[in-house]
Structure 1
Amino acid sequence: MKKVWIYWVLGLLVLAATIAVFTQSYTEEAVIKYFPLDETTAFKSFGTSLEFSGQEDEDEYEVVWEVSSESEKPMYLRQDVSLLYVNGRLKGVVSKWEENASIIKKKTSIHGEDSQKYQAVSFHHGELHLGEEAIRSIQATSGDELYVIDSPHTKRTSFTSPETPEEEEWKQRLDHTINQQIRAQWDELLAHFQVKESDYTAVPLTRLADFEDKELPGVPKGQSERIKGQLWEGLYKNYILGIHDTNSSHPIQSYIPLLLFDKKGKHVMVLYEDDTGKKHQLLQYY
């Protein structure tokens, strides 16, 4: 009888340990997954901000990168993920999730030098589990950009939109140089995958937040939110998670991905190149 009791207790301990490991594995690998949108709740607020924090020394300065969101009520799983590009190249990703929470906040300081263009795009997501009902979700996209001018010939300054002729000149100069570099890589990707750009509406990933309150280009009417949610799910799985995977190619230092929305309303294509030079093509059919 004593042996039976010991085996029974050990069995319970093994079961408990197995459940604990499974739960830990699930939570540590929390991913963004699209579920039908819930019509009864939404975000109270969400946003991404890039702010010039100040001068560290004569050669360096600091930029504060912040992403935050608050849902109207606590969610089973809340998560925000944000990507930062500097002069068109990916410099970092932040991701934060909380269980049974409504608020997500993440603030990061970036050290910079010389004149730079900073762009951030973020996806805010929440899963709602209500007993036997189907899982629902809420979602939103936000973004921000910041120009920092750091030149021996002018006073160090920053702006989102130029307010003086000098700032406008610096904006045009930076945009021209960055766009030339990005365009060259996009042309290589289009040629490599034999894609005819005129069949698509091209949108840089960093401009996706522009469509937060309007339809995506060329998609079936009323389907934008579903397509947007599934697009972010695919980006998270295939593009963002690669940043943390040291055993495979990751996109750090790569240029902004190009989103191509089919003008016939059939699919969206994502093209990007990782830092090893490997070219990637993702396809999402509607």
Structure 2
Amino acid sequence: MVKDKLSQTVMILLCISAIIGVTVYSKDDTETLQYFPLDQTYQFLSADTLLTLLQETSNDQYRISWQTNSELDEPVYLRQDVSLLYMDGVLKGINGVWKEDVEDLTLTKDFEESDSSHFQAITLHHGEIHYPDDEIKSIQTMSNDYLYVIDSPHTPLESFRQPKNKFQRDWKQTIDHATQQQLQYTWKRWIEEAEIDINRYQLVPLVEIVNFQSEAIPGLGQEATDRIMGQLWEGLYRNYILPVSSSPEQLHQPMPLILMEKQNDHLIVLFQNEEKELERLYQVYSN
């Protein structure tokens, strides 16, 4: 009975958060993110995304810090980082910056929220290197972080990444179940509308593509995987990130779903645009 009440409470709170979530967005400009052949002579010294529960504030809210940091071994023509934040499977905010002739970038945004939730952030760290004769190469890596925040009127405010006791395990299970139920319903509707045979595809939620940073797509090498990920981010930036971020009030879209064709021919990205209509991106695995 207690667990049923907990599940019902979380489901209601998730629905409310999806509607009235605080918009978090910071961007200096709308510079295009473009993939070029990867440059193996440069490397990232560090690349991190960090979500931190800071403090409880007034009006039954709490403050969270959303940070990204990245540093190259030397300055390049253009540095660009873009980070996406999801709250219970729904887009909470976009944070991005680009600068010329620098090696490091730092982004920090604090925001207030209420209620128990699961926050997930994924970041692309990107650099553009220009050589003589108009030769352009790029460098990229991804990072991510996630955080569960338990805001219950009966217990102190707390956060965790991995549950350490039964109380945290129960809350994690309840939040995950409610979030997955909503996302699975949305993704199923998208797939049916797009008339896609899912038996041909591996289904990957957007925040999970960070796994391909260190694990190649099955049947492909890491070099090909890195190229596909770079081209994927270019498409996401142009067709998903920029249109939504140009109208911050249009946030709260469900997390995009990526369908990776099992024969390694192409991938499809399904997402909801700023008009709340289904969009499809089709990317062929070209060399």
| Superposition TM-score, scaled by structure 1 size | 0.86
**Equivalent residue number for residue 276 of structure 2:** 277
1:108 to 1:250, Cα distance in 2 relative to 1, 3 A: closer
Partner of 1:268: 267
Q: How does 1:92-171 map to 2 (within 5 A)?
A: 92-132=93-133, 134-171=135-172
Aligned equivalents of 2:261, 2:154: Cα separation in 1: 46
What letter is aligned with 1:193? A
The corresponding residue for 1:253 is 252
**AA matched with 1:282:** L
* Alignment pair present for 1:212 and 2:213: yes
Deviations 1:45-97 (A, max 9, x none): 00111000111125000010001100111010000000011111101101111
Structure 1: distance between partners of 2:47 and 2:222 = 25
2:235 corresponding residue in structure 1: 234
User: Offset of 1:251 from its aligned partner?
Assistant: 5.7
Query: For the Cα contact (< 8 Å) 2:29–2:98, is it kept in 1?
Result: no
TM-score (norm 2): 0.86
Say which structure, 1 or 2, has more relative contact order (CA 8 Å, 6+ apart). 2
1:20 match? none
Indicate conservation of the 8 Å contact 2:258/2:268, yes or no. Answer: yes
> Given residue 281 of structure 1, which amino acid in structure 2 is its aligned partner?
R
Match of 1:7 in 2: none
Residue type matched to 1:81 in 2? V
Q: Is the 8 A contact 1:251 1:273 kept in 2?
A: no
Change (3 A) 1:219 1:237: farther
Structure 2 counterpart of 1:88: 89
> What is the CA–CA distance in structure 1 between the aligned matches of 2:30 and 2:150, rounded to whole Å?
39
Contact 1:252 1:274 in 2 (8 A): no
SS in 1 for 2:131: coil
Task: Tell me how large the CA RMSD over aligned residues is.
Answer: 1.8
Identical-residue share of aligned pairs (%): 38
CA distance in 2, matches of 1:211, 1:224: 7
**Paired AA for residue 266 in structure 1:** D
Could you list the runs of 5+ residues in structure 1 that have no partner in the other structure? Answer: 1-26
Equivalent residues of 2:150, 2:171 under 8 A apart: yes
User: What secondary structure, in the 3-state scheme, does the structure 2 residue paired with 1:129 have?
Assistant: strand
Whether 2:61 is the aligned partner of 1:68: answer: no
- What corresponds to 1:78 in structure 2? 79
Check conservation: 1:242, 1:250, Cα contact below 8 A.
no
State the SS of the aligned residue for 1:223. helix
2:102 & 2:219 partners in 1: Cα distance? 36
Q: Describe the shift of the 1:252–1:217 C-alpha distance in structure 2 as closer, same or farther (beyond 3 A).
A: farther
Q: Structure 1 residue 277: deviation in Å?
A: 2.9
AA matched with 2:242: L
State how far apart, in whole Å, the 1-side matches of 2:250 and 2:232 are: 17
AA matched with 2:200: D
For 1:231 and 1:146, the matched residues in 2 are separated by: 25
What residue identity is the alignment partner of 1:119? Answer: Q
Shift of 1:186: 0.1
Query: How many residues in Structure 1 have an aligned counterpart in Structure 2?
Result: 258
- Using the alignment, how far apart are the partners of 2:199 and 2:207 within structure 1? 21
Change beyond 3 A, Cα 1:211–1:63 = same
